[in-house]
Structure 1
Amino acid sequence: MARTVNVNFRMDSELKKNMEQVCQEMGLSMTAAFTIFAKTVTREKRIPFEVSADPFYSASNMRHLQKAIADLNAGKGVEHELIED
């Protein structure tokens, strides 16, 4: 049997608490859940779920927002009325 080692990383305390609760509901420890994840990544050579970024933070959108801010600061922007939701 392979020798086991400790792996340490940081996460938000609320996230950890929620993860522990979900793992417990599935009858798993967090160690077992992360081991399943690591074995799946190793076997499949991929993250076993989709990882994507919010398009709001894309480079092109950030350039657009920076230009809009510069235009507003230069008095060239268009102001809109606030809409009550």
Structure 2
Amino acid sequence: MAKSTISIRVDEDLKKETEKTLDSMGLNITTAFTIFAKTLVKEQRFPFEITADPFYGKENQAYLKRAIKDLEDNGGNAHELIND
């Protein structure tokens, strides 16, 4: 079977950490991606659950903007979970 090259760009630190983690499993990035791709094709779905990170949700981003504005304007308020 002929081989083909896939080139992707990722953060350098992420690449290093990925290589380190895979090495501890006895794998490299090529093998890990091949496992991913074969499973994707076979199952016709991602081989893991993909969920949204609530940090980047509109509600949380709006809350953070309000909190930053309050901090800049008024010195902020203690979080409800922080006991003074």
Question: TM-score normalised to the size of structure 1?
Answer: 0.66
Match of 2:8 in 1: 9
CA deviation profile, 1:35-82 (whole Å, cap 9, x unmatched): 00000111111111111112343346667778x69xx8xxxxxx7456
Residue 27 of structure 1 pairs with residue 26 of structure 2: yes
Distance 1:6 1:81, change over 3 A: closer
Query: In structure 1, what is the Cα distance between the partners aligned to 2:78 and 2:21?
Result: 44
Mind listing any 5+ residue stretches in structure 1 that lack a counterpart? 73-78
Taking only the aligned residue pairs, the percentage that are identical comes to: 44
Match of 1:75 in 2: none
Match of 2:73 in 1: none
Mind listing any 5+ residue stretches in structure 2 that lack a counterpart? 71-75
Displacement of 1:22 in angstroms is 1.1
Greater Cα shift, 21-30 or 9-18: 21-30
Q: How many residues align?
A: 78
Question: TM-score normalised to the size of structure 2?
Answer: 0.67
Match of 2:47 in 1: 48
Amino acid at match of 1:7: I
